[in-house]
Structures are given as structure tokens and as C-alpha cells.
Amino acid sequence: MMVASSKNKLIEISDLMTRFHTPEGTVYAVNGISYNLDVAETLAVVGESGCGKSVSMLSILGLIPTPPGEIAGGTAFYKGNDLLKMNDIDLEHIRGKEIAMIFQDPMTSLNPVLTIGKQITEAIRIHCNLDKNKANKRAIELLEWVGIPDAKNRLGDYPHQFSGGMRQRVMIAMALSCEPSLLIADEPTTALDVTIQAQIVELVKRLREQLGMAIIWITHDLGVVAGLADRVIVMYAGYIVEEAKVDDIYEHPLHPYTIALLNALPRVDRRRENRLKSIPGAPPNLLVEPHGCPFAPRCEFVTNQCRTENPKLVSINDQHRVACWVNILERGNDNGRE
Amino acid sequence: MDSISAQSSPIARLSPDELEAPPLTLRQLAWRRFRRHKMAMFGGIVLILLFIYSIGGSFFFTEGYANYTQTELRLQPPSAAHPFGTDTVGRDALARTIYGGQISILIGLAAVIIETLMGILIGAAAGYYGGMIDSILMRFTEAMLNIPELFLLIVMAKNFGGKIPNITLFGREFSGSVVVIIIIIGLTSWMYLARIVRAEFLSIKENDFILAARATGTPNSQIIFQHILPNSIAPIVVSATLGVANAILSEAYISFLGLGVQPPTATWGNMLDRANNYLETAPWLWFVPGAFILLTVLSINFLGDGLRDALDPRSRTI
């Protein structure tokens, strides 16, 4: 079932479950997801808003506020240590140094009252034990890496003096300050306009080559994924519904949700007469304990079994896993394609 | 078309750098808003004058002179020799307002330092950590708030008064009671500040940049003091400013009741002590120190008001 040999595994997550206990009831945000990541591999996690993408990442870094959050089960082994069982002090040494994270909205992810230089050198000084001068030099080097012109003179500037794209570059510089083995990018291009998006994606690709780091790229934009990721995980309502190599996802999508997502995407290689298809309905209410397949209410292939029993994630071949009752082979692989 | 516009308009010939004024920093914006606040400017200037008066005055009169009793000259009305008159034991009121001013200002500032430290520590811990720590600290704060402050002040002054020996500082000997009063006022006034700080922390810690800081492995102490505290500095500065006024008033209360700073050390508060017996026969006894207290407290309140407007990031006035 595992995709590659466990020797090169950077992170192995199994049965991760995260819940939030709110006054309205328990929110089942992440419901037992398992995946792993090789060294220097790029994994894309896609899905609609509120399907547990970010929460699952925050969970493994211990950044879920508890209470109301609760990690209800699972393990997350990083280089042989279970992150979920680590205490706060040990986790602080992992966060930022081994596993760095960049966030969706660069406009709010930088502290407005601290200079850029202060915020970058902070991370360097926490993890790398450098003195102030060396940390400053390193910060300038990092800013040049991420393509900020005149880096030396911009260290004393405040975040409001930077544009959105520049701020995201600063965030990336901060995240890379200690050359992490894993970069978690939580929708880093969602808040940016399209040209800037492309620049940021190119930048991350270039830095990935330079540093040889693994990347988990959370997004709901399958268009961004194509040129960037090695493997794709599709999440829905806190479950992984499909996992495959990136080419497989585009050429042989197996889960109805993946197919629907791809049909909602404009493509250059498709005839213009075909209208983009939206997915009817809304994502399920995570307050209700799930029974049956979570996608059943919106699925065009739904069967009776789907409504009562939740399908397990099963391997189709050694690189492709899918959770669906409908006999995939019978449906044919290009069912969703017109 | 390009050449026409470039020739006709002088603006078109400017380079982009010349067209765009450099953005104002937050500090410049705040100063600009503060300057527009007439009362605050007035308060600030009066405070500076009072400061010069009480510091500069000590070059003209020695403290020995301020504490020098001449019972045969008691209760003299204002005259050329004693512009503010003399008190019940014949000390010169002018010299005493100078040295009393120093002590009153010292008490105001020092008490506020204690108040601010306690308020920030308790409020920050409660707001940042939440849960049990928050409950315990806030119940304690509420308990302290429920005891009337004046009553607390009197009880503590009675218990601790006279237990601290005199202290020599800056070449002056301070009555130990000054230190006692500073500590007492500091310990009884931090509660409102703690609540303000807690509320600020509760909202600021939910920001994305705090999550980002945590994701970089920043330890809690650094998040509290380097990330959240600078963001909540405006209400703290305002509250501390007003705290100086309150501390000076509190000192006046208890010194008036004879429990505060002990004579011969002068403060504006203990100059009022026993003046109530001479309300009509010697009005200068209460009028002069009273006027100084009033002017100081009023000016500080104006200043605090101006700071509140100037430092409020939500303020739309430019």
C-alpha cells in the first residue's frame, strides 16, 4: 500500500484525527488520514475550503489551539520521532528549523509593528545561534534569494511598505532561513493575483532545486499543482479520497470528486463549447459524525451502498489510491472526460 | 499625444520618485494627530513647565530651607519674602511646593512603573495562556477590584508605614515612607491595566502573524513580549499616563489623612494636611498645593486624551 520504500521517508502520517469541541457540537475536521512524503518530494494537497487541508498540517506541528481542538488519534513520524507525542519545547526546535510553513495571506502574516529585518533575523537567531551581525548578513542573503531588490536597505522597512507579492517573498525568506527539510505552503498564492502567483510558484521551484527540500503545497487550485507537484492528495470532508502521481490525477482521475474538480477547471486543450461544470451542493456539515461516503449527496454515480458505508482508501496500483464504492474499472477511466 | 502632455504639464516632467512623497511612519502620523489636539498640547506644555519648576526651583532654594521651621513666622499670608505664605509651623510654602513637587512627580512615575509591570505581566499571562491561568488571575484581579482602593491604601499605609528606613538618593535623603507609598499605590492600581492588557492579548493572539511566528518556532516568551506587546502598546501608554495622575491623587489622599509621606519631607499631598483647620483663616495653605495638584492631574488627563487619539491605529483622522 505504501508508495515507496520506507527508507527515504521524511514524514509518515497515519490515522491522523483532529476534532474541535465547539458549543455547537464536535467538528470532525480530520478523520483518520494517512500519507507519507519522501525526501525532496513535492506533494500537493487539494480540496475545497474547510475540508481539513490546513487543519491536518497545523495538527502535525502542534499549532491547533487545545481546547477547543483535540488530536483524537494517529501518529506523525518525522525522521523517526512522533511529532504528535512531542512536548512544546521539542516542537519549537522542529518548527521553523526542520519544518517551515508559509501562509495564505501575506498581508496579515507579518507583524505590522516589527521591521522585516527583525522578523527574519528572529527565526535565524532562534534556530541557528548566530550573533546579530551574522544574522543580518544572512537575512540580506535570504532576501536576495527570494528576489527582493535592494535587500540591504529594506531590512529596516515595515510590512506596510511592501506589496502583497513582496510580502509573500519575505514570508518565504523567513521560512527558508534555516534551510528546512520540509516546507508546508498553505495556499501561498491564493491571495495574490495571477502574474504574482506564477512568480511565486517559479520562485519556490527554484528554491526547491537549490535546497533539496520537500514541499507540501496546500491549494484548491489544480492548475497550480500541475507544474509543481510530484504527487497529489485530494481531500474531502476530512478524508483523503484519492492519492496519485500528478500525471495520473489529470489523466486517470478515479474518484468522482476529483473528476468533478477537474471538470470545473478551465483548460486550454478543451473545446470551448463545453461549459465548465460546477459541483452541485455544498461541502458537508462537519458537525455531524460522518456515516456513509461524505461525497455521496453530491455524487453523480451514487449507489445505495455509498449512503450507508464509507469506502476505505484502497490501492488500485502501487501509486494510486482511491476511496470509492463504485466499480472504477467498470466505469472506465476516462468517465469524467468529455 | 505624449509630447503634448509632457510639455503642457510640469507634473508630467517629474520622475516617479519626485511625484510620490515618502510614506509617513506610524510615529509621524501619531505626532501629527497629537499636535492637532489643542488640549493635549496645552497639557503637555503645562507638565513640562511644572517639571522645570520643581527641578529648576531646587537651584534657588535648598531642601534645608524648605524644611526649616520658624514658629514665630507661622501662617504668614503671601508676601514678598514668602510669595506663597508660610505653613502652620512657619515653613516657606514656595520652597515646599518645589520639593513637594519633586516627590509627588517621583511617586507618580515610580508607582506607575510598578503598576504597569504588574498589569502587563498579569494581563499578558491571563490573555495569552487562557484557560485555568486566565481564570485564576482574573478572579484575583476582580477580588482586588472589589476592595475599595482608598481602604486598601489606608490599611497598607498603616501596616507598612515607618518600617522602611530613610534612603539617600541623588544626594537627597528620602523618607522611607515615600518608598512605602510608591509600592502601596503601585500594588493597588494595576487591576484596570491588567484587564486592558488581557483584552488586547486575547484579540491580538488570534492574528495570522502570531500563528506564523509560532510556526517559525518562536518561544512563548518572545511571542508575548516581542510580537504581542508592541502591538498593544497604545492603550498601555494611555493607561499609564492616566495612572500617573491617579497616583499623584492617591498620594494626596493618604498624605492628607496623615498616613502618607511623613514630614518634614514635603509633598503636595501632605502640604494639605491640617489645612482643613484653616479653610477660611489661611486659604493659601490649601489653595497653593491644591492648585498644583489640580493643574498636574488635569494636564495629565488632557495629555492622555490626546495620546489616546494619536495612538489609536483605527483613528481615521490624518
pLDDT tens digits for range B180-213: 888 888 888 899 999 999 999 999 988 889 988 8
Q: What value does the mean pLDDT of chain B take?
A: 82
**Which of B216, B218, B220, B225 to probe the A interface (max A CBs under 10 A)?**
B216
pLDDT at res. A4: 41
pLDDT at A46 over 80: yes
pLDDT at A33 over 80: yes
pLDDT at res. B122: 95
Are B230 and A113 an interchain contact pair (Cβ–Cβ within 8 Å)? yes
What are the CB-based long-range contacts (under 8 Å, 24+) for B159-162? Answer: B160/B184, B161/B259, B161/B262, B162/B262
Are A122 and B209 an interchain contact pair (Cβ–Cβ within 8 Å)? no
A133/A85 Cα distance (integer angstroms): 36
Could you tell me if A29 and A237 are in contact, meaning their C-beta atoms sit under 8 angstroms apart?
Answer: no
Percent of all residues in chain B with a pLDDT value above 90, rounded to a whole number = 24
Q: A5: pLDDT confidence band, cut at 50, 70 and 90?
A: very low
Are B222 and A112 an interchain contact pair (Cβ–Cβ within 8 Å)? no
Are A108 and B209 an interchain contact pair (Cβ–Cβ within 8 Å)? yes
pLDDT at B124 over 50: yes
pLDDT tens digits for range A93-121: 888 888 888 888 888 888 888 888 888 88
CA-nearest of B96, B63, B269 to B86 is B96
pLDDT at res. B280: 78
Q: B10: pLDDT confidence band, cut at 50, 70 and 90?
A: low
Are A95 and B214 an interchain contact pair (Cβ–Cβ within 8 Å)? yes
Minimal C-alpha gap between A87 and chain B (Å): 13
B218 has a chain A CB within 8 A of its CB: yes
A89/A96 Cα distance (integer angstroms): 13
Minimal C-alpha gap between A323 and chain B (Å): 32
pLDDT at B6 over 50: no
Q: Which residue of B lies nearest to A186 if distances are taken between CA atoms?
A: B212
Chain centre to alpha carbon of residue B253: 17
Q: Which residue of B lies nearest to A162 if distances are taken between CA atoms?
A: B23
Q: Which cell goes with B61?
A: 532654594
pLDDT at B235 over 70: yes
pLDDT at res. A336: 43
Minimal C-alpha gap between B64 and chain A (Å): 49
Mean pLDDT confidence for A150-154: 84
**Count of all residues that appear for chain A in the document:** 338
pLDDT at B125 over 90: yes
pLDDT at res. B117: 95
pLDDT tens digits for range B237-257: 889 988 998 898 888 888 888
Mean pLDDT confidence for B222-247: 89
pLDDT tens digits for range A238-262: 888 888 888 888 888 888 888 888 8
pLDDT at res. B18: 53
Inter-CA distances, A203 with A40, A41, A170, B27, Å: 16, 16, 12, 35
Mean pLDDT confidence for B151-176: 73
A60 has a chain B CB within 8 A of its CB: no
B209 has a chain A CB within 8 A of its CB: yes
pLDDT at res. A272: 63
Q: B1: pLDDT confidence band, cut at 50, 70 and 90?
A: very low
- List the single range of B8-22, B24-38, B199-213 with lowest mean pLDDT: B8-22
Are A114 and B226 an interchain contact pair (Cβ–Cβ within 8 Å)? yes
A61 has a chain B CB within 8 A of its CB: yes
pLDDT at B114 over 90: yes
State pTM to two decimals. 0.80
Are B215 and A100 an interchain contact pair (Cβ–Cβ within 8 Å)? yes
- List the single range of A171-185, B29-43, B154-168 with lowest mean pLDDT: B154-168
Could you tell me if B34 and B306 are in contact, meaning their C-beta atoms sit under 8 angstroms apart?
Answer: yes
**Which of A55, A95, A113 to probe the B interface (max B CBs under 10 A)?**
A113
Q: B11: pLDDT confidence band, cut at 50, 70 and 90?
A: low
CA-nearest of B118, B249, B115 to B186 is B115
Question: Could you identify the residue written with the cell 488635569?
Answer: B298
Which amino acid does the sequence have at A64?
Answer: I
pLDDT at res. A273: 64
Question: Could you identify the residue written with the cell 527574519?
Answer: A120
Q: B22: pLDDT confidence band, cut at 50, 70 and 90?
A: low
| Neighbouring C-alpha atoms within 13 Å toward the C-beta of A151 | 18
A330/A326 Cα distance (integer angstroms): 8
* B217 → closest Cβ in A105, A111, A127: A127
Q: A2: pLDDT confidence band, cut at 50, 70 and 90?
A: very low
B74 has a chain A CB within 8 A of its CB: no
B22 has a chain A CB within 8 A of its CB: no
Torsion of CA A30, A35, A38, A40, to 10 degrees: -30
Minimal C-alpha gap between B231 and chain A (Å): 6
A113 has a chain B CB within 8 A of its CB: yes
pLDDT at res. B316: 56
pLDDT at res. B20: 56
Residues of B in contact with A100 (CB under 8 A): 215-216
Q: Which residue of A lies nearest to B232 if distances are taken between CA atoms?
A: A113
A257 has a chain B CB within 8 A of its CB: no
B227 has a chain A CB within 8 A of its CB: yes
Are A108 and B214 an interchain contact pair (Cβ–Cβ within 8 Å)? no
* DSSP letters spanning A6-71: GGGEEEEEEEEEEEEEETTEEEEEEEEEEEEEETT-EEEEE--TTSSHHHHHHHHTT-S-TTTEEE
Percent of all residues in chain A with a pLDDT value above 70, rounded to a whole number = 92
Q: What value does the mean pLDDT of chain A take?
A: 82
Q: B118: pLDDT confidence band, cut at 50, 70 and 90?
A: very high
Report strand pairing: A320-322 vs A314-317. Answer: antiparallel
What are the CB-based long-range contacts (under 8 Å, 24+) for A161-166? Answer: A161/B23, A162/A116, A164/A106, A164/A107, A164/A191, A164/A192, A164/A196, A165/A106, A165/A192, A165/A196, A165/A199, A165/A200
Q: Which residue of B lies nearest to A62 if distances are taken between CA atoms?
A: B215
Of chain A residues 6-35, which have a CB less than 8 A from chain B? none
Residues of B in contact with A63 (CB under 8 A): 211, 214-215
Minimal C-alpha gap between A91 and chain B (Å): 8
pLDDT at B24 over 70: no
